[in-house]
Amino acid sequence: MSKSTTDDPGPLLGAADIRELAAALGVRPTKQRGQNFVIDANTVRRIVRTAEVRPDDVVVEIGPGLGSLTLGLLEAADRVTAVEIDEVLAAALPSTVAARLPERADRFALVHRDAMHVTELPGPAPTALVANLPYNVAVPVLLHMLATFPTIDRTLVMVQSEVADRLAARPGNKVYGVPSVKANWYAEVKRAGAIGRNVFWPAPNVDSGLVSLVRRDKPIETSASRDEVFAVVDAAFAQRRKTLRAALSGWAGSAAAAEAALVAAGVSPQARGEALTVEEFARIAEHKGPGGTPGIRQSGGAHASGGEQA
């Protein structure tokens, strides 16, 4: 879209529209569900542009709220499916789409459900995920969607800035942890920009960041399953100040068994989890002895954030 038209919200929602809609529905944003509605059309267009949404994309959006981002996505994509847990917001969104983008209304679908429990979506398989994720559930929702819908090739999420840093962190970074490794299992992850507080209503107490995730062309090469790899990751960061020999002793069955697995994987037993790549975690998982039993819960694959999401 040309610069000359970016100040015109067109069918998108501005601050007055958002407040009017909220008042009509009796909606007051709740901290419990992390509701902060985007009230700036230029920010919406920037997100859609940064997400590189294409005319043939089938986009899934989590937590559409009053529809700010939904309308921007519908302008650019072939189809949009929005997943909304809030009953009032879910009921109102189709009417908002029909009123503001009537020519695209048949390209929109709504799923009224908790995103963490969504295992299938109506219509064609999604190719992209774009969402303003509630801060308190951002990491587990993101990992669940990437695990459940392997056709999602590109993802752009807006999350709390601190969470964005953790997702995009590289080994050796002080905030590198469970979210960093698990996201990297699925995708190449990077920060894709910052979002100020004044484009939201109500304005949050923290800054936001955009994170881009492009699914790997080829999965991590390993004979271990995702759950097995994630169990090593969870164990390593549950006691992140300890050496891996100590941190993985419960997972392996003993410190000696952990050391044997680490040596076999080519990883120093004195290293710490924050220094390892996802590929190294996968190698460790391959060398778990037959008698070992994990000392902490396994992640269940996609759902665990390891307590490090924020």
- Residue 20 is labelled as binding a ligand: no
- Residue 84 is labelled as binding a ligand: yes
At 90-128, the pLDDT tens digits run 999 999 999 999 999 999 999 999 999 999 999 999 999
- In the predicted model, what is the mean pLDDT of residues 70-80? 98
Find the distance separating the first CA and the last CA of the chain, reported in whole Å: 35
Q: Residue 134 — pLDDT band, cuts 50, 70, 90?
A: confident
Q: Which CATH architecture has domain 226-287?
A: Orthogonal Bundle (1.10)
Q: Residue 135 — pLDDT band, cuts 50, 70, 90?
A: confident
Answer whether residue 11 shows pLDDT above 70.
Answer: yes
Could you give phi then psi for residue 247, rounded to 5 degrees? -65, -30
At 162-209, the pLDDT tens digits run 999 999 999 999 999 999 999 999 999 999 999 999 999 888 888 999
Beta-carbon-side half-sphere exposure of residue 92 (alpha carbons within 13 Å):
18
Partners of residue 157 on adjacent β-strands: 131, 211
Answer whether residue 305 shows pLDDT above 60.
Answer: no
Handedness of CA 272, 278, 280, 285 (dihedral sign): positive
Question: How far is Cα 101 from Cα 156, in angstroms, rounded to an integer?
Answer: 23
Note the pTM of the prediction, 2 decimals.
0.89
Mean per-residue pLDDT over the chain, rounded: 90
Separation in Å, CA 250 to CA 235, 236, 262, 269: 8, 10, 14, 14
Q: Which CATH class is domain 15-215?
A: alpha beta
Same fold, 15-215 and 226-287: no
Q: Residue 6 — pLDDT band, cuts 50, 70, 90?
A: very low
Separation in Å, CA 139 to CA 120, 168, 243: 19, 12, 26
Domains of the chain, by residue range, sit at 15-215, 226-287
- Residue 63 is labelled as binding a ligand: yes
- Percent of the chain whose pLDDT exceeds 70: 88
Kindly state the helix (H) or strand (E) to which residue 48 belongs, with its residue range. helix 41-50
Contact 70, 100 (CB under 8 A): no
- Residue 198 is labelled as binding a ligand: no
- Residue 132 is labelled as binding a ligand: yes
pLDDT at 22: 93
Separation in Å, CA 160 to CA 4, 33, 137, 167: 31, 14, 11, 11
Q: Residue 281 — pLDDT band, cuts 50, 70, 90?
A: very high
Contact 289, 260 (CB under 8 A): yes
